[in-house]
Amino acid sequence: MDNDDWRTMLATAIAFVLSIPLGWGMLTLFPWLRAMAEADNRLSYTVVLIGLFWVLFGVIYMAVTLIRFLRADSRSLYRDLRTVSRGRNERTIDGIFSAGSTMSWTTQLSLTALLVVVLLMLDPSARGHLEVRILCVMVVVTSWGLLVISQGLAYARAHASTSRTGIRFCGTPDPEFSDFLTLAVCISAMFGPADAQLSGRPVRRLLRNHILVSFAFNSMVVATLATLLLVTD
């Protein structure tokens, strides 16, 4: 599970298998969804299924990633991130925006969440159901969790690539993956690194990209979700 692409493919395969029986179950449990599928409103029905698949994929991917890296101590984490789980080179423009890079991946997370919420918000027959609103909340929370974990892994890799000098945690000379997750949470929520000290161009570039994506996510996706939840008709 060292390779990001393999974890993505594994989560995709499992989510696809699970989404089939869950989708049929939702059609049986919610008559309004079945009516939506049988009527001309196929778009909202498809978006609901995409949202369900996205939540399943996100939960599985986060679980696999956390199981892989949280159990590693500082020494083994540092060794693995320099050898078997180095990720993509994001020091160039092509690397930053290439498929699978942290910047590209987190941007896709934000766009997926925004697309699901906006399409369902624009359909009065869909947004009036409590289950749809709950699904939208789950999609946004899942996307935010994926963003945090992806950025946490990117910070850990940047720390390893700079010989453990790019990021310093006060009182923690040997940081573990949980420390980088905490850093990612703080930057995603507060746009600040808390008590961590970041230095070096690669780390600053990663911080800049993280703040840009987080700002877009918080200002567009979360704001759109709040609008959906406040709509009464």
Residue span of the structural domain in which 65 resides: 4-230
SS3 204: helix
Describe the crossing of helices 74-82 and 130-161 by its angle, rounded to 10 degrees: 80
**What pLDDT, on a 0 to 100 scale, did the predictor assign at position 92?**
47
For residue 92, which amino acid is it? T
Tens digits of per-residue pLDDT, 173-222? 888 999 999 999 999 888 777 788 888 888 888 888 888 888 888 888 87
Q: How far apart are CA 112 and CA 55, in angstroms?
A: 11
Q: Say whether pLDDT at 99 is over 50.
A: no
Residue 96's pLDDT band (boundaries 50, 70, 90)? Answer: very low
What is the rounded average pLDDT of the residues 26-40?
81
Residue 97's pLDDT band (boundaries 50, 70, 90)? Answer: very low
* Contacts for 160 with CB less than 8 Å, ≥ 6 apart: 77, 78, 81, 82
The DSSP code sequence of 64-100 is HHHHHHHTS-HHHHHHHHHTT------SSHHHHHSTT
Q: How far apart are CA 123 and CA 129, in angstroms?
A: 11
223's enclosing H/E stretch is helix 223-230
**What pLDDT, on a 0 to 100 scale, did the predictor assign at position 103?**
65
Structure tokens belonging to residue 217 = 């996510």
Tens digits of per-residue pLDDT, 71-87? 888 888 888 888 877 56
Which residue has better confidence, 51 or 126?
51
Give CA 113 to chain center in angstroms. 9
Total domains in the chain come to 1
Which of 226, 74, 221, 93 lies closest to 159 in space, CA to CA?
74
User: In 86-171, which ranges are continuous DSSP H helix?
Assistant: 93-97, 102-121, 124-127, 130-161
DSSP state of 30: -
Report yes or no: 139 and 110 within 8 Å, Cβ to Cβ: no
- Tell if the pTM clears 0.75, that is, is over it: yes
